[in-house]
Structure 1
Amino acid sequence: MTQVIVVIGDRLGKGQKVAAGVEKAGGKAIVIPGVAADMKLGDVMKAEGASFGISFCGSGGAGSITAQNKHGYKAKYGMRSVDEGVTAINEGAVALGFGFMDKEELGERLVQAWTKKHGG
């Protein structure tokens, strides 16, 4: 069983709650430290061999768009709900951009959706 690795980048340096949800679902969470962490999402995903990454900022897009442009990760952004994130994973997106939503449920349900789609 391969562990699901999730990178979390938050514009304000947060992400601890969503990380707790990732780990509750059996995944490994890597929270990028510091302000503007969302802009490092693609770089850290590549370095860590991440399954997928979550970016949080006001618009819900900057980090995931940068990951797509720089590294070719399929991005879905501007999301505002857990269900939108689950749908994005089911559609094959790996760089997920949300408005500020540091919720445990988000991390947990995204890992569950990834595991269901890709096995693990």
Structure 2
Amino acid sequence: MTEVVIVIGDRMGKGQKIAEGINSVEGCRAIVIPGMAADMKLGDVMNKENADLGLSFCGSGGAGAITAQNKYGYPQRHGMRSIEEGETAINEGCKVLGFGFMDTEELGQRVAKAFLKKYPRS
């Protein structure tokens, strides 16, 4: 099975709980960008790691997602405040999801499962 790689960039250097949720889903692996302003490095790390999905977290949920789109052309949705919005964005083809601060295992699990449902791996 080809592994799904999901990169997490959080403005405050967090994302560990989201990563736990992603890593709990079989076939998925999270990469947490360390340090403050990690969201602004999201597109660069996604490109370097050939990632399938990127998650950006900051107050507005937009800076890292918009930067990744502008620099690399990744389709994105930002300003999201719920897990359901993220699931919908994946179903609509977004590769970068921008959220307000939401470092929860549930978000990681549900986003990873939504990605696998949309893009099954053999």
Asked if Structure 1 and Structure 2 have the same fold, meaning a TM-score greater than 0.5 normalized by the shorter chain, the answer is: yes
**After the TM superposition, which residues 44-59 of structure 1 pair with which residues of structure 2 at under 5 Å, given as runs?**
44-59=45-60
TM-score if structure 1 supplies the norm length? 0.99
Percent of paired sites with the same residue: 65
Corresponding pairs, count: 120
CA distance in 1, matches of 2:94, 2:2: 19
Secondary structure at 1:14 match in 2: coil
Residue 41 (structure 1) shift: 0.3
Deviation per residue, 1:30-81 (Å, 9 max, x gap): 0000000000000000000101000000000000000000000001000000
Q: Distance in 1 between matches of 2:96 and 2:59?
A: 16
- Corresponding residue number in structure 2 for 1:15: 15
Aligned counterparts, 1:3-42, within 5 A:
3-26=3-26, 27-42=28-43
| Matched residue SS, 2:98 | strand
> Equivalents in 1 of 2:87, 2:35: separation in Å?
27
Note if 1:111 corresponds to 2:112.
yes
**Secondary structure, counterpart of 2:118 in structure 1:** helix
Distance 2:59 2:95 in 1: 19
Distance (whole Å) between structure 2 residues aligned to residue 118 and residue 74 of structure 1: 16
Give SS of 2:9's match. Answer: strand
SS in 1 for 2:34: coil
Unaligned runs of 5+ in 1: none
**Structure 2 portions without partners, runs of 5+:** none
Secondary structure, counterpart of 1:41 in structure 2: helix
**Aligned amino acid, residue 112 of structure 1:** K
What amino acid sits opposite 2:90 in the alignment? I
Letter in 2 for 1:24: S
Q: In angstroms, what is the RMSD of aligned CA positions?
A: 0.5
CA distance in 2, matches of 1:3, 1:111: 11
Q: How many Å apart are 1:2 and its aligned residue?
A: 1.0
- Normalised TM-score (structure 2): 0.97
Which runs of structure 1 show a deviation greater than 2 angstroms over 4 or more consecutive aligned residues? none
